[in-house]
Amino acid sequence: MSETMKACVLHAVGDLRYEDVPMAKRGEGEVLLKIRAAGVCGSDIPRVFEKGTYHFPTIPGHEFAGEIVDADDKALIGRRAAVFPLLPCRKCAPCQVGEFANCENYDYYGSRRDGAFAEYLAVDIRNLILLPDDLSYACASLVEPGAVARAAVRRLEVKLGDTVVIWGAGPIGLIAAAWAKKAGAGIVRVVDISEEKLAFAKKFGFEAYDEARDGLCDCAIEGTGAPQALCNLIKSMKPHGRVILMGNPARDMTITQSVYSQILRREITLRGTWNSSYNDQINDWEATAKAMADGDLIDYEALITHRYPLDRCLEALEMMRDRKEFYTKVTIVMD
Ligand SMILES: [Zn+2]
Ligand SMILES: [Zn+2]
């Protein structure tokens, strides 16, 4: 195998370079994964252009799938896999009960350590989700947003016939809408400020929420991170409504006094969600991979509006940052 590989390396805020780096080497308990598809997450935009990674240089990319090309267990070679990107310490209290998303001292592919905007990555064997051979890699790279969406919907505790509204019709929002439907919701609607996103959502069977027609909601997911959306969302809730807060806040999430009062008067439950569960009892990753393989959730492939090769990764990120084109999921694909 060659001594070097191609990767997109973040050297400083805004300084992403496609270059040769030393070949990824697997250590004990790791396999070598040839990356075949890596999604660009909305969070990668501020990570690359505003906030940076935890240290430089770092290779971003945390939503990925690939082919196992080297492993101690030879039966794994050639297998397709998605990867849970969080590396828990396995020592702290949350880790002791398998709540790895709450780990107090975790590592993370693509933010705290090198990730998948590269030809290869050494991956902890415990983080592999093995997939069927006939599942496309592009599809497999969507297990991550699929698992995040599932975790959010799981926390909503949807009851049969509930009216569920998802605020924010990006890829996670649309997958969450599909999970809500599968969980037994009667009506599932979406809200977005972009008419193009609403038109795109309609192709998947999710119409825009209209309070006059659909009535107040039993459940809602806040996926925009915008204070005005949160206010409107709360106003649309039925008494005893359940709200999951999922969207990363773009700024302070200020709400008005009257909206705050409605939370009290209508006895609304607000609950946060973070990442996804990955343990023996609850595994959003295995469940997502299974639903994907069974083809009974959503047309994942159709969520991908843009595909870029690795050497054009920066162009993909700039297109998203500047909203040059309408996009939903942007994916880096590698042969
Ligand atoms: Zn992400
Ligand atoms: Zn831990």
pLDDT digits (tens, 9 = 90+) for 104-130: 999 999 999 999 999 999 999 999 999
As a residue count, the chain comes to 335
Rounded to whole angstroms, the Cα distance separating 334 from 317 reads 16
What pLDDT is stored for residue 315 in this prediction? 98
DSSP string covering 23-62: PP---TTEEEEEEEEEEEPTTHHHIIIII--SSSSB----
Ligand nearest to the CA of residue 89, numbered in listed order: 2
3 state DSSP class of 310: helix
Q: ω into residue 57 within 30 of 0, thus cis?
A: yes
Query: CB-based contacts of 78: which residues, under 8 Å, 6+ apart?
Result: 67, 68, 69
Distance CA 49, CA 30 (A): 31
From ligand 1's centre to the CA of 63, what distance in Å? 6
Please give the distance, rounded to the nearest whole angstrom, from the Cα atom of residue 223 to the centre of ligand 1. Answer: 13
Q: Which ligand is nearest to the CA of 95?
A: 2
| pTM (two decimals) | 0.96
Cα of 195 to ligand 1 centre, how many Å? 24
- Measured in angstroms, how far is the CA atom of residue 212 from the centroid of ligand 1? 34
Q: Which pLDDT value is given to residue 193?
A: 97
Q: How far is the CA of 34 from the centre of ligand 1 (A)?
A: 20
Q: What is the rounded CA–CA span in Å between residue 289 and residue 231?
A: 34
Q: Which domains does the chain have, with CATH numbers?
A: 4-141+299-333 (3.90.180.10), 149-272 (3.40.50.720)
**If you measure from the C-alpha of residue 91 to the centroid of ligand 2, how many angstroms do you get, rounded to a whole number?**
5
Which ligand lies nearest to the CA atom of residue 172 in the structure?
Answer: 1
pLDDT of residue 126: 97
Distance 43 CA to ligand 1 centre (A): 6
Give Cα separations from 240 to 123, 136, 180, 300 (angstroms).
44, 42, 18, 33
Measure the CA–CA gap between 206 and 169, rounded to whole angstroms: 9
The pLDDT of residue 99 = 96
Q: Which residue has the tokens 């994964």?
A: 33
- Which ligand gives the minimal distance to the CA of 61? 1
Compute the distance from residue 97 Cα to the ligand 2 centre, in Å.
10
- Stretches where the chain sits below pLDDT 50 are none
Residue 215 three-state SS: coil
